[in-house]
Amino acid sequence: MGVRSACGAAITDVLAPFPGRAQRVDISMRFFCVIGAILLFFSFAAGAAQAAGDEVFVVARVPVQGTGETATAARQAAQSQGRRRAIDILLRRVTPEEDWVFLPTVSTGRPAELPADGTGKTAIAISSSDLVGLESGFEVYGEKASSNSYRAYITYRFKPDAIRRLLKNARLPYSEAQTRVALVLPVLQTDSGTYLWESNNPWMAAWKSRPLTHELTPMTTPIGDLEDSQTISARQALALDSGALAAIASKYGVSQVMVAHARLQQAEGQFKLSVRLINAYRELGKAEEVLGEDEQLNVSDVANTSPSYATFSSPDEEFATKVGETVARAYLTEAAGNFPALAERAIDAAIADYASGWKQKTLIDHSKEALLPVTAFFDRVADWSKIRAALIATPLVGAVQISSLSRRGAEMDVRIFGDPSKVQVAMENQGIVFWTETGDRWFLATPSVASKVRGRRFLRGNERRGIFGADDSGDDDYTPVPVNQEPEDEGNSYLRKIEQ
């Protein structure tokens, strides 16, 4: 029996006791089968998305070295040292800097500076046995060993649920949502010239040697081949040449390009390095296009709504959406002679500064939970797939319960951690618009669909009961159509409701 016939038989069996509904099977069979395939797909995709979201719990290529009476002892000492350093990096990667006083410095054995505060936050303590239990595995690169020494680079993988539980028990908010991957163009400017693709650009070399994909703000570096050098020059990068930046973005399949502009000066035996990380290019057609100032919602305009859930961030506060905006800065000085070490520290500082803004907007605070009624709009199955994928990939979303589904929309309850404004930012990063009209009900859509339905009067009229589910009178045929869309023929009418 084929998939379609099997699907039809199953639906007919289920609806057999209800003749009126069974008559609609033929009309909506194909849609039901497609949606069934989508639901089956997402039962597998949830695991894949979770695995992809676990990238931030990986600390890559930690340099380790150790000595011991035997080669085995030296290797174990080095691996243990690297593990302690890796957990320090990870905990500070996902938590805001103001909460670092509650974190131990495991690599040096120093306990947290502050044991607790009045809000319920408590210090984290990690013993050697605890640390081993937090790790899920490691990978070794570039081993160099002798009879009493060991040196290597090790990538440590930590257990996401164990790290989350550690932070949740200490009541420390954290972020694990990643921004879109950006291409970074490292441009070095000195008194002698400006460098990008030149083989003697140590600033490019420093970025290439630094693991970037596991950060909250992941980036990738260009290959630096002939095609790259013909696509964009150092001067075009600094001038934010939109055509050249769009071309290099297209080559690498990214929607955002950062220019890491470093100004190096040497005077009186000192290196002085000033760094700016510039949002040079951001592809149009993303969710922020429909988040204009005229759509802001003020607490005073909302009736019967919790104020903490009724305020949007202003457009000026949106994370890294303005082309030309400097999203991070760093300024360092040290004795001349070791530029690679100086560049490494500057990159670390710039990435930390860049990530801090994103971290604040996507913090998961388990002490604050909310269950939001949400309506999703879509014109095609592909849009529904994008919406579901975005919900799965957003750590701020704890659970989703779908109550009804039609060809153009779905009703669901979404459990979130923290303020909905943080979910807005995280969903926008996934290319999905998340908004509310009056604060009672929230809506999801791709940017193109959101531009059609946002602000429509029927959204405000159905805030409390939903749009695609059955209304209070039990009329399953209730399906409002946006005012800019023509009603469809009876033969193409929607399947009104599918109970999950």
* Cα 156 from Cα 140, distance rounded (Å): 9
Q: Is 468 exposed, middle or buried (0-12, 13-18, 19+ CB in 10 A)?
A: buried
Residues 146 and 164 in one domain: yes
How high is the pLDDT of residue 96? 95
DSSP state of 313: P
Q: How confident is the model at residue 498 (pLDDT cuts 50, 70, 90)?
A: very low
Task: Tell me whether residue 375 is in a domain.
Answer: yes
Among 111, 134, 169, which residue terminates a domain? Answer: 169
Q: Which residue has the tokens 């799965």?
A: 392
Task: Report helix, strand or coil for 257.
Answer: strand
On whether both 237 and 268 belong to a single domain, the answer is yes
Q: Residue 400: what pLDDT?
A: 92
Residue closest to 389 by CA, chosen among 435, 453, 432: 432
Residue 433: closest CA among 288, 285, 282: 288
Q: What pLDDT does 465 receive?
A: 53
Task: Report, as an integer, the average pLDDT of 217-231.
Answer: 96
Instruction: Give the domain-ending residue among 135, 169, 203.
Output: 169
Site of tokens 């797909």: 41
In a domain, 6, yes or no: no
Asked whether the predicted pLDDT for residue 67 surpasses 90, the reply is: yes
pLDDT at 458 over 50: yes
How much is the mean pLDDT over the chain?
79
Residues 6+ apart with CB under 8 A from 284: none
| Cβ 207 vs Cβ 395: under 8 Å | no
On whether residue 17 sits in a domain, the answer given is no
DSSP codes, 318-377:
STT-STT-EEEEEEEEEETT-HHHHHHHHHHHHHHHHHHHHHHHS-B-TT-EEEEEEEEE
The vertex-375 CA angle with 370 and 381, nearest 5°, equals 130
When pLDDT is cut at 50, 70 and 90, the band that residue 117 belongs to is confident
Say yes or no to pLDDT of 145 above 90. Answer: yes
Across 176-185, 344-353, 365-374, least confident range: 365-374
CA angle 341/346/350 to nearest 5° reads: 150
Query: Do 280 and 376 reside in the same domain of the chain?
Result: no
**Domain presence at residue 48:** no
Judge whether 49 lies within some domain. no
User: What is the average pLDDT across 403-414?
Assistant: 90
Q: Are residues 212 and 79 in the same domain?
A: no
| Residue 309 belongs to domain with CATH number | 3.40.50
Contact 276, 331 (CB under 8 A): no
pLDDT digits (tens, 9 = 90+) for 201-210: 999 999 999 9
147, 169, 191: which is the final residue of a domain? 169
Higher pLDDT, 12 or 213: 213
Ramachandran quadrant class, 20 (left: phi over 0; alpha: psi -120 to 50; beta: rest): alpha
Q: What is the pLDDT of residue 284?
A: 62
Q: Does residue 274 lie in a domain region?
A: yes
Write down the pLDDT at residue 466. 57
Q: Give the pTM.
A: 0.71
- Is the pLDDT score of 448 beyond 80? yes
Same domain, 448 and 500: yes
Question: Is residue 47 included in any domain, yes or no?
Answer: no
Residues 379 and 484 reside in one and the same domain:
yes
**What is the pLDDT at residue 348?**
95
How much of the chain, in percent, has pLDDT values that exceed 90?
57
List beta partners, residue 330. 275
Task: State the Rg of the chain over Cα.
Answer: 26
386 and 482 belong to one structural domain: yes
Q: Please report, rounded to a whole number, the percentage of residues in the chain having pLDDT higher than 70.
A: 74
How long is the chain?
Answer: 500
Average pLDDT of span 407-423 = 89
Measured CA to CA, the distance from residue 348 to residue 210 in angstroms comes to: 9
Structure tokens at 159: 């257990």
Q: Does 500 map to a domain? A: yes
The residue-averaged pLDDT of 445-459 equals: 86
**204 and 137 assigned to the same domain:** no
Q: What is the pLDDT of residue 394?
A: 86
Count how many domains the chain has. Answer: 3
pLDDT tens, 302-335? 233 332 222 233 333 445 558 899 999 999 999 9
- Is the pLDDT score of 1 beyond 70? no
Longest dimension (CA), the chain: 91
| 345 and 411 housed in the same domain | no
Q: Which phi and psi (to 5°) does residue 429 adopt?
A: -65, -25
Give the β-pairing of 193-195 and 182-190. antiparallel
Domain coverage including residue 118: 60-169
Whether residue 317 is found in the same domain as residue 339: yes
SS3 content of the chain, % helix, strand, coil (to 5): 40, 25, 35
Report helix, strand or coil for 76: helix
Q: How far is CA 418 from CA 54, 193, 402, 421, 431, in A?
A: 20, 48, 21, 9, 20
Residue 474 confidence (pLDDT) above 70: no
> What average pLDDT does this structure show over 288-307?
31
Residues 352, 375 within the same domain: no
> Is the pLDDT at 440 greater than 90, yes or no?
no
Q: Beta 135-145 vs 193-195: how paired, if at all? A: unpaired
Tokens of 461: 């009229």
- 154 with 89, same domain: the answer is yes
